[in-house]
């Protein structure tokens, strides 16, 4: 018996042409990599606004007692990107300026999210510390009271032993 060979249908060549046509028409509608001065300035302004909001979030996290040193380092790195974007914009390199400003804005947004999480974690930790202090204070007071009681008893017993260990002498016999 002879095996029948089945042939897979070949892709229709017009499908490839249709994809090529679609990509060409979309490419002309959206010019690739041509950022204008206005777009670059808008990106820089958006990054500046994002930096202000992020700074306030970092301040709130610090106020709650969070360790914001890592956030501050990342924030400074994002500010450096923003400064580079401004410098590129001054040199009329709008595309690179826009890209750096957008990257800085993404960093500011990520740092802001981390600052919110840090603030919540710091508030939760502070709440736990307060709860531990409130619950631990009566326990500590009871331990101190018991310790004071046993020390007073020990001191009293030592005085009684001292008195009981004295010899009785008559006043005139010396």
Q: How far apart are CA 34 and CA 39, in angstroms?
A: 10
Average pLDDT, the chain: 81
pLDDT in the model for residue 101: 92
Enumerate the domain spans of the chain: 35-135
**Residue range 56-80, pLDDT digits in tens:** 999 999 998 889 999 999 999 999 9
Q: How does residue 35 score in pLDDT terms, banded at 50, 70 and 90?
A: low
Q: How does residue 7 score in pLDDT terms, banded at 50, 70 and 90?
A: very low
Q: How does residue 154 score in pLDDT terms, banded at 50, 70 and 90?
A: very high
The per-residue DSSP string of 25-84 comes to: HHHHHS-TT---HHHHHHHHHHHHHHHHHHHHHHHHHHHTT---HHHHHHHHHHHHHHHH
pTM of this prediction? 0.59
pLDDT in the model for residue 170: 78
Percent of the chain with pLDDT over 70: 78
Check: CB of residue 58 under 8 Å from CB of residue 71.
yes
In what helix (H) or strand (E) does residue 138 lie, and over which residues does it extend? Answer: helix 94-164
In the predicted structure, residue 27 carries a pLDDT above the cut 50: no
In the predicted structure, residue 16 carries a pLDDT above the cut 70: no
Check: CB of residue 101 under 8 Å from CB of residue 44.
yes
pLDDT in the model for residue 34: 62
Provide the phi-psi class of 171: left if phi over 0, else alpha when psi is between -120 and 50, else beta.
Answer: alpha
Of 7-21, 32-46, 74-88, which gets the smallest average pLDDT? 7-21
């Amino acid at each position: 018996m002879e095996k029948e060979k089945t042939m897979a249908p070949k892709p229709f060549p017009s499908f490839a042409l249709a994809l090529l046509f679609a990509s060409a028409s979309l490419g002309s509608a959206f010019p690739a990599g041509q950022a204008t001065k206005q777009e670059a300035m808008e990106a820089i302004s958006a990054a500046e606004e994002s930096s202000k909001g992020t700074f306030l979030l970092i301040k709130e996290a610090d106020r709650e007692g969070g360790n914001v040193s890592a956030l501050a380092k990342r924030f400074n790195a994002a500010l450096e990107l923003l400064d580079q974007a401004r410098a590129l914009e001054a040199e009329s390199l709008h595309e690179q300026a826009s890209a750096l400003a957008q990257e800085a804005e993404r960093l500011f947004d990520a740092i802001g999210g981390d600052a919110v999480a840090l603030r919540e974690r710091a508030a939760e930790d502070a709440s736990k510390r307060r709860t531990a202090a409130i619950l631990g204070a009566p326990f500590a007071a009871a331990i101190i009271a018991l310790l004071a009681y046993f020390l007073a008893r020990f001191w009293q017993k030592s005085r009684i032993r001292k008195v009981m260990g004295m010899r009785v002498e008559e006043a005139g016999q010396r």
